[in-house]
Amino acid sequence: MTDRLLDLLARKGLLLGDGAMGTMLQRAGLTDGGSPELWNVEHADAVQAIYQGYADAGSDIITTNTFGGTRYRLKLHHLQDRVFELNQAGAALAHAVAGDHRLVAGSMGPTGELMEPLGPLTIDEAAAAFAEQAAGLAAGGVDFFLVETMSSLDEVQAAVQGARQASELPVVVTMTFDTNFRTMMGVTPAQAVQTLFGWGVTVIGANCGNGPAEIERIMWEMAQARPEGAVLMAQSNAGLPRWHDGEISYDGTPEVMAGYAQRMRALGVQVIGACCGSTPEHMAAMRRALDGPPLAHYQPAFEASAAAPQSPPAGDGAARRAARRAQRSVE
């Protein structure tokens, strides 16, 4: 099977992903506790308009509104019997927007369950759930599966296994390193890129987290450790989330994200997108930055991976973590 992602990378050298889905759905009227995936059938025009907004902003990749599309996440909304339908619908809407010149990434987020031995979910059970989701995405016309926002290598293994059971389409993986430059389960960027490449995953990276400064360090670590042939992907949040008047907002302006895109290119990242808090306006600014000349002088000054991150402002960390958790539920 042709790998359209690697083919397009070979032609263009650098690809722009898209931005947040949850942020845009909330703008369109999705309320707390609602199912984003149900909008693929009940508010299809709104979902397609979000996809179109990213296409118009210059994104080369459109990501499906299926982040919580496993039976475990859909069960929270009593939709566990509609996995295939909702994933296929989300993918088909994206495919209609992407056409022949853009790619469709089939979003596959965490199940929300703890894997053995910390929890009851086995790798085989998780793999079956991811296979069920992947089958719907493949039927809807995705070009590759995007396993994203992962913390556990066991769950990544299950997702990759499940996707490969369902289809021969390529699998891309991004993890979230928001705990002292490690995932919540202790995985380092170097460990991630080397392990995943060993599993036959070519495009590997990071998404979500605590904003551009954090992901810059993470991608630098991945770049130092990546095996020959590995392609790096980064999708940072648009800065840091804040609670204001009962709503979540992010402090990363389009200009901030344009600078982030340029630094990612300087690090050798070839697939550059955004995550929570980002909008078509952010992606348009990133498109303009990447269409321009590269940074003339870029010298990252990071040290050993054991270095601790800067402490957040006092009293602000808990609010940011709560905001990030709320946003991730509709990634």
Q: Tell me, what's the pLDDT at 253?
A: 95
C-alpha count within 13 angstroms, C-beta hemisphere, residue 199:
23
Please give the pLDDT value at position 244.
Answer: 76
**How much is the pLDDT for 96?**
98
Coil, strand or helix at 309 = coil
CA dist., res. 278 & res. 68, Å (int):
19
Low-confidence ranges of the chain (pLDDT < 70): 304-331
Asked if 80 and 129 count as a contact pair (C-beta separation under 8 A), the reply is no
pTM of the predicted protein model: 0.91
pLDDT at 247: 73
Whole-number Cα distances in Å, 209 to 44, 200, 280: 29, 25, 20
Q: Where are the domains of the chain?
A: 4-296+311-328
> What is the per-residue pLDDT for 306?
47
| Separation of alpha carbons 193 and 256, rounded Å | 26
Q: Would residue 29 be called left, alpha or beta, if left means φ above 0 and alpha means ψ between -120 and 50 degrees?
A: left
Q: What is the predicted pLDDT for the residue at 330?
A: 59
pLDDT number for residue 331: 63
pLDDT of amino acid 319: 38
- pLDDT at position 318: 37
pLDDT, residue 130, reads 98
Q: Where are the alpha helices (DSSP H) in the chain?
A: 4-12, 22-28, 39-42, 44-57, 71-74, 83-98, 123-140, 153-166, 189-198, 212-225, 254-267, 280-291, 317-328
CATH architecture of 4-296+311-328: Alpha-Beta Barrel (3.20)
